[in-house]
Each structure stands twice: as C-alpha cells, then as structure tokens.
Amino acid sequence: MQLIDGKALANKIHTQIASKVSKLKEEKNIIPGLAVVLVGDNPASHAYVKMKAKACKEVGFYSIVHEMPSTITQEEILATINMMNQNPHIDGILVQLPLPKHIDTNQILEVINPRKDVDGFHPYNVGRLVSGLDSFVACTPLGVMKMFEEYNIDLKGKDVCVVGASNIVGKPMANLLINANATVTVTHIFTKDLASHTRKADIVIVGTGVPKLIKKDMVKDGAIVIDIGINKLEDGSIVGDVDFAEVAPLCSYITPVPGGVGPMTIAMLLSNTLDAAAQREIV
C-alpha cells in the first residue's frame, strides 16, 4: 500500500506557480488577481477562504475577499460580481459555497465571466469539459487527475467507480475520467447496492460527506482509493468518507485524510488563476 501524498504534491505545485508568477510579473507586469465572495458566517467557509488567501500570498498573487452578511440580497451579490468582471486586475472570481438558502446559486455562478471562472462551475466551462475541450475545470477533480499523473497511474481502460454525483465533484470527476478513456460508473444516494459497484472497480473515488462510508468489504484487493471527503466528528477528529484503517491494507494506493486531496484543491485554484492571468489582455 502506498499513500498518495497530496500535501507534498501541492507544495511542489505552489513552488512552480510562484516561479511562474515572478516571470509573469517581470515579463508582462501582470500580478494574478483572485477575488473571493464570502457570504454569511459559516465557520468552514471562513476557514477555507482563510487558507486560500494564505496560499495566494505565498505564491505572490493579489487577492481580495468580499465578505457579505447572510442577509445580503441576490442583486447586491450580482452587482459585486459584475464589478469584478469589469476589473482588469482580477483574473479569477470564486464564490464560496454554500450560499444562504434565499440566494439562487445557479444565477450567481452564471453571471461570472467564464474567463474568470477559476472554480470551473460556469455552464460554459462545464460544457467544454463534457465536450473534451480546454476549459477551467472544478479544482477538486482536477487535483485528483494531477495526483494520478504524478503517481503514473494510467486510467485508460480502468474501471472507475465515482461515489457521489455533485456538480462540484462527482460530475466533473466523471467527465475528466471519461476524457482519459476510463470506464466510469457514477453512484449516488439513490444507487441500489453501492457495494456491488465499488467492489468491481479498479479505482474508487469517493466524495459524499458521509464519514467512513466505504468499508473493507466494499473494495477489492489492489484497488486505488481516492477519498475526497473531509468530515469533523463530535470528538474533533477529522476523517474521510473511507474507513481508512479498514480499507488501506487492501489498497495499492490510497489518499489520507487530511493531507490527501484537500491541499490539491487549493493548488488547482491557484493554477487556474495563473492560467487566467496569463491570458489577460495587457491594459
């Protein structure tokens, strides 16, 4: 069993990005800019945004956080995003999810300029991903693909089971895998007999938010297991969607939680923002 070290890979990518940022500044006088919209007082959202801001600073990005109360109106958020769409120094716009229930999340995401959609959630970028065209791709699935690349895991012809079908993780993950010529099964909350699907898979990728959902009798010997979940238990411990202690001995490769996929999500956000900045028209 080999651990896939997402933290080490993310640090490597951060170093590469910092070098490219210096070069971009020197050659084109461009500093990549990332703007975050943070609505309400969700502790997890605030923690994620703080980590993203720290990462931006480390690689030399300009970043700004628009903090808004949970009572904010749809129109006020849209106005802020439109302002950022027109700001030539902002290359990436990220809306921290989830948004309060009275906000239409789809409308908010659709108003972001697709060229600044570094989260890869805009229908334009989703459509290009499905079509196998270059696009901004959701950061977590993109991070998983980088892990496969780093560890020389060939996806061609592999049977892959994706557990979870969210727009943020499961669906873009499935599309990336199909584009890489894997055979993909997508399961979700209404799937009958989940274990019958995961047991057949060469690779199991789990992102459901259900602690320790995947047990040892659900995974075949030698499988590769990617755990995207991160859950805080009542005792304060952090666990994934996979019962690591049970499942790890069976695996050829497995990601830990924490230190697996999580750091890669931020690394890919930085990478997408750098790509957006490199395409910026010099003003």
Pairing of strands 92-95, 33-39: parallel
SS3 188: coil
pLDDT (tens, 9 = 90+) of the chain, 283 residues, equals 999 999 999 999 999 999 999 999 999 999 999 999 999 999 889 999 999 999 999 999 999 999 999 999 999 999 999 999 999 999 999 999 999 999 999 999 999 999 999 999 999 999 999 999 999 999 999 999 999 999 999 999 999 999 999 999 999 999 999 999 999 999 999 999 999 999 999 999 999 999 999 999 999 999 999 999 999 899 989 999 999 999 999 999 999 999 999 999 999 999 999 999 999 865 4
Indicate the fold that domain 29-116 takes in CATH: Rossmann fold (3.40.50)
Beta bridge partners of 186: 162
**So what's the pLDDT on residue 283?**
43
CB 211 within 8 A of CB 231: yes
CATH 3.40.50.10860 in the chain: give the residue spans: 29-116
For 122, left (φ over 0), alpha (ψ -120 to 50), or beta? beta
Which residues are part of the catalytic machinery? 52, 96, 119
**So what's the pLDDT on residue 8?**
98
Four-CA torsion 72, 74, 77, 82, nearest 10 degrees: -160
CB 42 within 8 A of CB 101: no
**So what's the pLDDT on residue 281?**
66
**So what's the pLDDT on residue 242?**
98
CATH 3.40.50.720 in the chain: give the residue spans: 139-262
- CATH number of the 139-262 domain: 3.40.50.720
What's the CA gap between 148 and 135, in Å, rounded?
19
